[in-house]
A and B are shown apart, each in its own frame.
Chain A
Amino acid sequence: MRNAFADAFYQIAKDDPRVFLVAADIGAAAGVNTFREKYPERFLNVGVAEAIMIGLSAGLAMRGCIPFAYTIATFTIYRPFEQVRDDCCYQNLPVRLVGVGGGVNYSLLGSTHHAQEDIAVMSALPNMSILAPCDPAETTAATLATAQIPGPVYLRLGKAGEPNLTSQAPDPFLLGKIRKIREGKDLAVLTYGPITKMACDVAEQISAARGKSVAVYSVHTLKPLDREGIRGVLTRFPEVSVLEEHSPHGGLGPQVKQLAWDMKATCRLECFSLRDEFIHFYGTHAELLGAHGLKPEVLREAWSRS
């Protein structure tokens, strides 16, 4: 996803002198390196100093520029939170806040590097848009789509090496719309980000075992949320499940439940998320998700239940 972002960023930036990359001493992938070499005056490394990364980005935006502020998700939005809120959101400026390693992707780096409540925190901010693509191809689409957003954007990325899940997707990527990436009729999974792979794998296993037909939707635009699209899913499917690599508070699950309540939905609805706990445990990304109960076997059992 990092590489896909970097390449898409380069596509946007190479012909547009308004576009900047403002980094806080975190290297990006090849596309950004090419940009850095070709347009050094528009690649700014402020050092280990996130408040100025965001403040400076907002100042650039006040002069008509389009800055992408880039570092690890926790440092993009938590450390300089007030600059994000006051400088970018209050003034409604087109600053693109790129967070690498959303969720618990940086599994071996520990909780200081886990952004497991980022969607909740960013959702609470007026004017903020949130994009969380599920694979490299969707990362490209989401990065290019930021051009349609006049205000601030939080772009939540995974790391590197994620597989493409959307090459056969029935729906195209449309900003602000949920996207069906796998057909199914008995159960719909609403998810976002790299954990979408787990949803697709489990859906495939259930289907291979001649079980339920499971549809998977990528909810890549978390704010503004496609309420109409989600209401449609809650209407059409007898069972709906939300899977997210995020705290149980303030993410997609609670919003889907709220929609379901408001529309008096009759489908079965279940939410799977990280727990409301820090992780004092090191391991692979999958092991950390597993420690909070997000395991393929748990989902398989739940989604196979009649």
Chain B
Amino acid sequence: MKPFDAREAKTRCLAFRKRILEISQTVPALHIAPAFSCIELVDAAYFGLMNRGGKKETDDTFVLSKGHGSLAQYVVLEKLGVIRKELLDNYSKPGWPLATHPDYGNPGIEASTGSLGHGLGLAVGMAYADKLQKKNRCIYLVMSDGELMEGSVWEALMVAPSFGIRNIVALVDLNDFISLGQTSSVLPNFYPMAEKIRSFGWECAEVNGHDSAAIVAAVQARSGTKPFVLLGKTVKGKGVKFMESVPIWHYRSPNPDEYRQALALLEEGSR
């Protein structure tokens, strides 16, 4: 794999956001802000971290555990040629397979998600099978911070290191927002998070979740002796000022005026 180029990542992520905005004009509602907050995390996994030489037995696995961020994965898969443009052009259209949450069996989709708190448990099973079969591959997840409120996640966090599993990298989109408000005010005891995760036997690092180079560097710097969680501090709706941290954009399409404004803001921010 060639070295990760942060400038190329920036160009890609701008294009991904624009593509998602383009799709937003064809449907009445979609999860724009949750996708925008994890674009760099998903991009870093596919373009900077995962081994994906095309062999089913050795390729790393990607599970979008925060299934509602599906557009972030779809646009990456489209760029990689895994998903045909026609499929994504017909996002959420009657009779077409790609919609709000990833469905196992669609091209590039390795788990059905959408209900939060399932991906990590699945990953623990996959990772354990890989460990026994001596397969040197890793399961990458992108999780939401709201997902860390699910008890099932903590069951998985407890079990994975107890079973000697190391080959999981969970990238957490820590945007500090749940649907009805800001996590730090709704549930202040959610924090500190890194200590909680470390106390469960995982290695954990925190970075700016929109800094592609930092994401890749932090994951590559892991010891490999424990499973790994990266807390990526993000901004929900990142890149479009009027969407950033505004709850309504969790699930709303911009109107044509807002669309043009959003494109301009993205361009401006990328300069």
Q: Which A residues fall within an 8 A CB radius of B?
A: 17, 41-42, 44, 46-47, 49, 51-52, 54-65, 67, 80, 82-83, 86-87, 90-91
**Distance from A46 Cβ to chain B, minimum over Cβ atoms (Å):** 5
Residues 115 to 133 of chain B near chain A (Cβ within 8 Å): 115, 117-118, 120-130, 132-133
A83 in contact with B125 given A41-B132, A91-B111, A91-B112 (CB within 8 Å): no
C-alpha spacing A59/B124, complex, angstroms: 7
Q: With a 10 A CB-CB cut-off, give which of B115, B117, B121, B129 has the most chain A CB atoms.
A: B121
A63 B155 Cβ-Cβ under 8 A: no
**Distance from A88 Cβ to chain B, minimum over Cβ atoms (Å):** 10
For A63, the closest partner residue in chain B by CB is B129
A82 B111 Cβ-Cβ under 8 A: no
A residues in contact with B151, CB < 8 Å: 51
| Interface size of B in residues (CB-CB distance below 8 Å) | 28
A58 in contact with B104 given A49-B159, A51-B155, A63-B130 (CB within 8 Å): no
C-alpha spacing A87/B126, complex, angstroms: 13
Contacting B124 at CB < 8 Å: which of A17, A56, A90? A56
A63 B125 Cβ-Cβ under 8 A: yes
- Tell yes or no: B100 within 8 A of A by CB: no
SS of A interface (majority): helix
C-alpha spacing A41/B128, complex, angstroms: 10
Pull 19 A–B residue pairs with CB atoms less than 8 Å apart, ordered by A: A51-B117, A52-B124, A52-B156, A55-B118, A55-B125, A55-B152, A56-B121, A56-B156, A59-B121, A59-B124, A60-B125, A61-B125, A63-B126, A63-B129, A80-B152, A83-B152, A86-B114, A87-B118, A90-B112
B residues in contact with A86, CB < 8 Å: 112, 114-115, 118
Residues 85 to 140 of chain B near chain A (Cβ within 8 Å): 104, 110-112, 114-115, 117-118, 120-130, 132-133
- Tell yes or no: B83 within 8 A of A by CB: no
Closest 4 CB pairs of A and B: A59-B125, A55-B121, A63-B129, A51-B152
**Distance from B131 Cβ to chain A, minimum over Cβ atoms (Å):** 9
**Distance from B156 Cβ to chain A, minimum over Cβ atoms (Å):** 5
Q: With a 10 A CB-CB cut-off, give which of B111, B124, B126, B129 has the most chain A CB atoms.
A: B129
- Tell yes or no: B191 within 8 A of A by CB: no
